[in-house]
Amino acid sequence: MSPTILQIDTCNGIRTVTINRPDKLNALNAATLDALDAAFADAAADHSVRVVVLTGAGPKAFVAGADIAEMNRLSPVQGRDFSLRGTRMMRRVEKLNKPVIAMINGFALGGGLELAMCCHLRIAADSAKLGQPEINLGLIPGFGGSQRLLRLCGRAATLELCLTGAPISAERALQLGIVNRVVPAAELEAEATKLATQLANAAPLALRGMIDCVNVGSECGIEEGLEYESAQFGLMFATDDMREGTGAFLEKRKPGFHGR
């Protein structure tokens, strides 16, 4: 993995992954997709990592989209393969058994919004702009934009964003349910760190179980989802963290979770 593509820092169980192509507004080319895939595979395997924060370098963009100069040269088969490459990486993020927070510091357009949506939580600066502008390039979303938007904000809003290609404000994205929180740009890093710290101190196995339940439930019927939740709930009773959490409650003290 080229150190120039991503900046990766870990502190107190929080791993911050920064896409480092500010001159290209952090656009997603093939090399960046591969670097992100490797970074999230490493985060999954590293037991010291409890939460991942994903953001973009520079003041302008989280990710302004896919790399148009690279896409312009692709054949239909190469275009499909590029889409599948990005989709596989984003599914890795979505299925990571540790919380992933998108810290949206600027433009999150096209592939950038798709990347943000596969994260578990999204905090946006009030100056951020979000959208799926592929229609303006004679394209459609290729990394799951139509599918994740549909699940987050419904058919009408999805069609509006994808058919018009017009960007929306962070506040409108909040109203539509695309982002979880909007904060002043100057407070974005502090708020993301506060949330990440809260999650890093939570019970890791319970976090994993909740992420799994939501992922399964979003892709199946209610009966199957309820059955899966009950099974995961039962598994928690085999963990030291469950005994610690309930014991701490009864003893009126703060719990200390260790992921066991």
Tokens representing 258? 């260790």
Q: Indicate which residues carry an active-site annotation.
A: 114, 134
> In which element (H, E) is residue 146 found?
helix 145-164
Return the closest-CA partner of residue 180 out of 103, 79, 251.
103
Contact 141, 134 (CB under 8 A): yes
Tokens representing 75? 């054949």
- 124: CB partners within 8 A, 6+ apart: 104, 108, 130, 170, 173, 174, 179, 181, 182, 183, 188
Whole-angstrom Cα distance, residue 20 to residue 63? 10
Whole-angstrom Cα distance, residue 189 to residue 254? 26
SS3 at position 10: strand
